[in-house]
Amino acid sequence: MPPPKEGSHYDLPIALGLMAAIGAVPGDALDEFVVLGELSLDGTIAPVAGALPAAIGANALGKGLICPHESGPEAAWAGEAVDILAPRSLIAIANHFRGTQVLSRPEARVQSLASGLPDMADIKGQETARRALEVAAAGSHNLLMVGPPGSGKSMLAQRLPSILPTLSTRELLEVSMVASLAGELAGGKLSDRRPFRAPHHSASMAAMIGGGMRVRPGEVSLAHNGVLFLDEFPEFTPQALDSLRQPLETGECVIARANHRVSYPARIQLVAAMNPCRCGMAGEPGHRCARGPRCQSDYQARISGPLLDRIDIRVDVPAVSASDLIRPAKSEPSAAIAARVAAARAMQAERYERLAAGPALTNAHCATALIEEVAGPDRAGLVLLRDASKKFGFSARAYHRVLRVARTLADLDGAEKVGRLHLAEAISYRMPGERLLQAA
Ligand SMILES: Nc1ncnc2c1ncn2[C@@H]1O[C@H](COP(=O)(O)OP(=O)(O)OP(=O)(O)O)[C@@H](O)[C@H]1O
Ligand SMILES: [Mg+2]
Q: Tell the residue nearest (CA) to atom 18 of ligand 1.
A: 152
Question: What average pLDDT does this structure show over 174-199?
Answer: 82
CA atoms of 429 and 138, how far apart (whole Å): 15
Q: How far is the CA of 228 from the centre of ligand 1 (A)?
A: 19
More confident residue, 144 or 116: 144
Among 334, 299, 381, smallest CA distance to 121 is for 334
pLDDT of residue 440: 46
CA atoms of 6 and 243, how far apart (whole Å): 26
The number of the ligand 1 atom at minimal distance from the alpha carbon of 126 is 1
- Give the closest ligand to the alpha carbon of residue 325: 1
More confident residue, 141 or 5: 141
Within 6 A (CB) of ligand 1 lie 123-126, 147, 149-155, 273, 275, 320
pLDDT digits (tens, 9 = 90+) for 19-46: 999 988 888 889 999 999 999 988 899 9
Q: How far is the CA of 86 from the centre of ligand 2 (A)?
A: 44
Q: Tell the residue nearest (CA) to atom 9 of ligand 1.
A: 152
Q: Tell the residue nearest (CA) to atom 14 of ligand 1.
A: 150
Instruction: Supply the DSSP string of 72-135, one letter for each residue.
Output: HHHHGGG-TTS-EE--SBHHHHHHHHHTSSPPPPPPP-EE---TT---GGG--S-HHHHHHHHH
Whether 323 shows a pLDDT value over 50: the answer reads yes
pLDDT of residue 222: 94
Among 430, 388, 381, 383, smallest CA distance to 405 is for 430
Q: At 222, which amino acid appears?
A: L
pLDDT digits (tens, 9 = 90+) for 122-141: 988 899 999 999 999 999 99
Q: At 242, which amino acid appears?
A: D
H/E stretch holding 66 reads strand 64-66
Query: In degrees rounded to 5, what are phi and psi of residue 435?
Result: -65, -40
- Give the closest ligand to the alpha carbon of residue 324: 1
Q: How far is the CA of 331 from the centre of ligand 2 (A)?
A: 20
- Please say whether the beta carbons of 86 and 72 come within 8 A: yes
The number of the ligand 1 atom at minimal distance from the alpha carbon of 155 is 18
Pocket test for ligand 1, best of 127, 128, 154, 158 (most atoms within 8 A of CB): 154
CA atoms of 269 and 271, how far apart (whole Å): 6
Q: How far is the CA of 147 from the centre of ligand 2 (A)?
A: 9
- Please say whether the beta carbons of 437 and 308 come within 8 A: yes
Q: How far is the CA of 307 from the centre of ligand 1 (A)?
A: 26
pLDDT digits (tens, 9 = 90+) for 64-106: 999 999 888 888 888 888 899 999 999 999 999 988 989 999 9
The number of the ligand 1 atom at minimal distance from the alpha carbon of 232 is 27
Strand order, beta sheet including 33-35: 33-35, 64-66, 84-85
According to DSSP, the β-strands at 210-211 and 216-217 are: antiparallel
Whether 220 shows a pLDDT value over 70: the answer reads yes
Q: Let me know if domain 11-108 sits in CATH 3.30.230.10.
A: yes
pLDDT of residue 438: 54
Tell me the Cα Rg of the chain: 25
Q: Tell the residue nearest (CA) to atom 24 of ligand 1.
A: 149
- Please say whether the beta carbons of 318 and 147 come within 8 A: yes
Sorted by where each begins, the domain ranges of the chain are 11-108, 120-335, 336-439
Q: How far is the CA of 8 from the centre of ligand 1 (A)?
A: 45
Q: Tell the residue nearest (CA) to atom 19 of ligand 1.
A: 150
CATH superfamily placement of domain 120-335: P-loop containing nucleotide triphosphate hydrolases (3.40.50.300)
Among 172, 180, 175, 173, smallest CA distance to 9 is for 180
Question: What average pLDDT does this structure show over 41-63?
Answer: 88
Q: Give the predicted TM-score (pTM) of the model.
A: 0.83
